[in-house]
Chain A
């Protein structure tokens, strides 16, 4: 078993290439997660604390609450596609990091690391 070729994880983690990938991804994920969580919480809080406003109808019998709910459906679509588009760039960055490491490293398995922590 070729488990001897365990990559130096800490060295990779500290390399500028990896830091750029991890930081870029972290920035996007944190910003986006804060946005959709805040959106959803605001939706819940409006329902909870301003039910009368949310019950107002905006066109025909369609209430503000229903419009807000539908906007969540659209939000889910849009956020998913935004992430997918951005993620392709991370994939390319990750691939460059993988390529810069010895080929054996790619096939090393989890076993060795787990044993050492037991």
Chain B
């Protein structure tokens, strides 16, 4: 089994060649998209012409980041069942998205989450607060993904950390800068298909090895684990009740508050299409969740104890190494091809997810900050600012990654992004859509307190206090949502009831309610005003996807 070690970290010509093919494909997509990205609406929302089904595939792509695809399988390899809870929670979070947000966001919003809030709350402060949330969540998540990308490509293809980050970062900026949402969406769709195919093939191959008997697979996995049978039940990774519930809740609510996923609902032509896209996403993600179970336990059954060092910290390489082993093992042609193909799917994943994050952050800067304060706003200048913001955000993340490198603790970064999304972003959004009395003060207090509580709880948690992986930290919760989500809601509520009633904001609730329920005044698939402002005399095409 030592050969597994030798197979990672060396220069892998085949993997690099397939990476190059992936990059070339995405560049072609971007060139095609760039010609169709002329207005700001096209830049941020692909002209609202993405069909429900395709948007659903793209949402699946957003959900299937490297941490989902490789991370969950890796956690299951290391800890068994407990590694699966996070994946289940993230899948289920699409139910609140469908029931409470998807079609209502599509009806009431334009480019960003803040558009929905601005109908009824004071425009300037609430946009600033929403922009801060988006930038924090996307910036931190982006950094986590890039650091992960660097280590992963280093291990899989043998390209060292800095050039790996530079390549990923440069390409994500190119997609967003030239191709906007249309390029990001199609890169996401291509990648989601690659991942589903890779996951399906590996899972079927694993099951075939165990005569398609889940029981036999689990037996072998348990036999290969120190904890034995315990890995098919809870308690090996999330060791206390508070840890189980808090982690599950944070991911469940947090995924529903991720700006780059919510932004996807602005790309479809109608509220119905927004719902269709969530149904597609839930279906695909449910299938994928089942596949991850097979891959996670399969990795344990096939790689065994001997693979524990080779899969790396967090077990990220468990799935690719399992693919390699199924192909014939390290050193064989089949094994090399399987590893290279699987790695290419992982590589595509990172590229697509980081592009979506950059786009959401650029929307926050251009639409919520710049257009909010600048006196001269037109379609062209907003688009220019958005492109500059994309470059700025991307470059900042790249520089941070290269300077700090693997000094970043990816677990802490991912945890922070989800805790912010769950505690500071989700509560004001839901309350604005459902509670008439809610006002601007409540939203601002909620966001501020939500962010502070999240930071405090993360600083007190084991990965940070007082040094990495320390014992005896004041809080045991790596994902502290159990504490911070109630605090976020409570702060919104207190801020509202302790401040004066604002009649015009409560009247604004009627407007938001009518708009979100009926779609009156919603932006159509062919936004006429934007075209006029851009000086386009005749419609060039009807974006019916």
Q: Do A and B bind each other?
A: yes
Please report A residues at the B interface, Cβ cutoff 8 Å.
Answer: 1, 7, 9-10, 12-13, 18, 21-22, 25, 29, 32-33, 36, 40-41, 44-45, 47-49, 51-52, 54-57, 59-66, 69-70, 72-77, 79-81, 83-84, 87-88, 90-91, 94, 97-98, 101, 105-110, 113-114, 116-118
Contacts of B92 in A (CB 8 A): 36, 40, 72, 75-76
**CB-nearest residue of chain B relative to A2?**
B529
B286, A33: Cβ atoms closer than 8 Å: no
Main secondary structure of the interface of B (DSSP, over half): helix
Please give the distance in Å from B194's CB to the nearest CB on chain A: 22
Q: Which of A41, A49, A66, A101 contacts B81 (CB 8 A)?
A: A66
Please give the distance in Å from A115's CB to the nearest CB on chain B: 9
Q: How large is the interface on B (under 10, 10 to 19, 20 to 34, 35 or more residues)?
A: 35 or more
A-contact 0/1 string along B87-112, CB 8 Å cutoff = 01101101110111001000000100
A25, B529: Cβ atoms closer than 8 Å: no
Does chain A have a CB within 8 A of B400? Answer: no
Contacts of B229 in A (CB 8 A): 55, 57, 61
Within 8 A of A (CB), among B500-525: 504-505, 507-508, 510-511, 513-515, 517-521
Please give the distance in Å from B522's CB to the nearest CB on chain A: 9
Q: Which of A25, A33, A62, A72 contacts B218 (CB 8 A)?
A: A62
A47 CA to B79 CA, complexed, in Å: 15
Contacts of A113 in B (CB 8 A): 119, 508, 511
Does chain A have a CB within 8 A of B123? Answer: yes
Does chain A have a CB within 8 A of B122? Answer: yes
B514, A9: Cβ atoms closer than 8 Å: yes
A51, B234: Cβ atoms closer than 8 Å: yes
B233, A106: Cβ atoms closer than 8 Å: no
A13, B510: Cβ atoms closer than 8 Å: yes
B123, A79: Cβ atoms closer than 8 Å: no
Contacts of B511 in A (CB 8 A): 9, 113
Within 8 A of A (CB), among B195-230: 213-216, 218-219, 222, 229-230
B94, A76: Cβ atoms closer than 8 Å: yes
Main secondary structure of the interface of A (DSSP, over half): helix
Total number of A-B contacts with CB less than 8 angstroms?
194
Jot down 29 A-B pairs with beta carbons below 8 A, ordered by A. A9-B507, A21-B517, A36-B95, A40-B92, A44-B249, A48-B242, A48-B244, A54-B234, A55-B229, A55-B233, A55-B235, A57-B232, A63-B232, A66-B232, A69-B84, A72-B88, A73-B91, A74-B286, A76-B92, A80-B278, A84-B275, A87-B272, A87-B275, A106-B521, A107-B528, A113-B508, A114-B118, A114-B119, A117-B504
A18, B517: Cβ atoms closer than 8 Å: yes
**CB-nearest residue of chain B relative to A53?**
B233
Given contacts A76-B282, A80-B95, contact A108 B510 (CB under 8 A): no
A97 CA to B518 CA, complexed, in Å: 7
In the A-B complex, the 9 residue pairs with the closest CB atoms: A60-B215, A55-B233, A48-B241, A61-B218, A9-B511, A13-B510, A48-B244, A63-B232, A47-B234
Given contacts A62-B218, A66-B81, contact A10 B510 (CB under 8 A): yes
B110, A114: Cβ atoms closer than 8 Å: no
Does chain A have a CB within 8 A of B290? Answer: yes
Does chain A have a CB within 8 A of B276? Answer: yes
A77, B510: Cβ atoms closer than 8 Å: no
**Which of A59, A64, A73 has the largest count of B CB atoms less than 10 A from its CB?**
A73
A90 CA to B519 CA, complexed, in Å: 11
A103 CA to B403 CA, complexed, in Å: 57
A90 CA to B102 CA, complexed, in Å: 14
Q: Which of B271, B275, B282, B517 contacts A22 (CB 8 A)?
A: B517
**CB-nearest residue of chain B relative to A28?**
B99
Contacts of B276 in A (CB 8 A): 84
**CB-nearest residue of chain B relative to A70?**
B290
Given contacts A61-B218, A73-B286, A113-B119, contact A47 B99 (CB under 8 A): no
Given contacts A1-B529, A32-B99, A118-B124, contact A44 B244 (CB under 8 A): yes
Given contacts A61-B215, A114-B118, contact A105 B520 (CB under 8 A): yes
Q: Which of B103, B279, B508, B519 contacts A80 (CB 8 A)?
A: B279
Contacts of B118 in A (CB 8 A): 114, 117
Please give the distance in Å from A15's CB to the nearest CB on chain B: 9
A13, B513: Cβ atoms closer than 8 Å: yes
Q: Which of A61, A91, A110, A117 contacts B122 (CB 8 A)?
A: A117
A47, B279: Cβ atoms closer than 8 Å: no
Does chain A have a CB within 8 A of B289? Answer: yes
Contacts of A7 in B (CB 8 A): 514, 520-521
Please give the distance in Å from B222's CB to the nearest CB on chain A: 6
Other A-B contacts than A83-B99, A84-B276, 17 sampled, CB-CB below 8 A, are A9-B507, A29-B100, A33-B100, A48-B234, A48-B242, A54-B234, A61-B214, A61-B215, A64-B233, A69-B81, A77-B282, A80-B283, A83-B275, A84-B275, A98-B518, A109-B521, A110-B110
Please give the distance in Å from B460's CB to the nearest CB on chain A: 21
Please give the distance in Å from B82's CB to the nearest CB on chain A: 8
Does chain A have a CB within 8 A of B85? Answer: yes
A45, B245: Cβ atoms closer than 8 Å: yes
Contacts of B238 in A (CB 8 A): 47
**CB-nearest residue of chain B relative to A12?**
B514
A65, B241: Cβ atoms closer than 8 Å: no
**CB-nearest residue of chain B relative to A106?**
B520
Please give the distance in Å from B41's CB to the nearest CB on chain A: 13
Does chain A have a CB within 8 A of B479? Answer: no
Contacts of A94 in B (CB 8 A): 517-519
**CB-nearest residue of chain A relative to B529?**
A109
Does chain A have a CB within 8 A of B252? Answer: yes
A79, B275: Cβ atoms closer than 8 Å: no
Does chain A have a CB within 8 A of B269? Answer: no
B517, A25: Cβ atoms closer than 8 Å: yes
A118 CA to B373 CA, complexed, in Å: 12
